[in-house]
Amino acid sequence: MAEIAAQPFNFTFRPETTALIVIDMQRDFAEQGGFGASLGNDVSRVTKIVPTVKRLIEGFRAAGLPVIHTMECHRPDLSDLPPAKRNRGNPTIRIGDAGPMGRVLIAGESGTAILDALAPVDGELVIEKPGKGAFYATSLGEDLKRMGIAQLVFAGVTTEVCVQTTMREANDRGYECLLAEDATESYFAAFKQAAIEMIRAQGAIVGWTATTDQVLEGIAHA
């Protein structure tokens, strides 16, 4: 057990029941020609956190702690893609359409893959999720119970959508959640900041936040 210097107050870290969840660090959200760029977003905001996310992943691996990866993607027949999700906005390409990296956010396509620098290693759990939250229509809940996990550290994108949604889902299921602030990002700086403040408001209503250095220091002293 160790204390991680966090906000709004220290996080009591128990490594034997803790896992890292890296949310949606995929080519489609981080590279030109992908879905994120098709929406008019500056994907360089995502790529800049890759070294920090990698350092966090490597810290968990070195300590022998579980690393879980999620990928937002859909079945090739789009049977798990509701029209309300596919038809929103005015992107140059929509989910399921053919793009420069294959069909957008479709399982098995090149653009759906996790970035090479952050790719899972053998034995790490990869969750393919059709929604924003990683618990919806996936095996994540059962997997965490099987692994004996009670605390979750979060990284990935985007802070205010898939990361925060999954944190809220986890909090409702009784997990203690900690967000690595510099290992998460949004296409909009104000959205990231607002999400961080919402997460730790009112005595950690959703969870705690800390820097990657603070998380790794806690792991080192556990």
3-state helix, strand, coil in the chain (%, to 5): 40, 25, 35
Query: In the chain, which ranges are continuous DSSP H helix?
Result: 27-30, 35-38, 44-47, 50-62, 83-86, 140-147, 164-172, 189-204, 212-221
Sign of CA dihedral 142, 147, 150, 156: negative
Which residue from 71, 82, 57 is spatially nearest to 111, judged by alpha carbons?
A: 71
Sign of CA dihedral 122, 185, 138, 36: negative
Q: What are the tokens at 217?
A: 């220091």
Active-site option among 28, 73, 132, 162:
162
Active-site option among 24, 28, 73, 177:
24
Q: What are the tokens at 128?
A: 């393919």
Sign of CA dihedral 209, 71, 185, 90: negative
Active-site option among 28, 129, 177, 192:
129
Residue with tokens 């968990």: 60
73 is catalytic: no
77 is catalytic: no
Helix, strand or coil, per DSSP, at residue 183:
strand
162 is catalytic: yes
Residue with tokens 């029941």: 17
Active site residues: 24, 129, 162
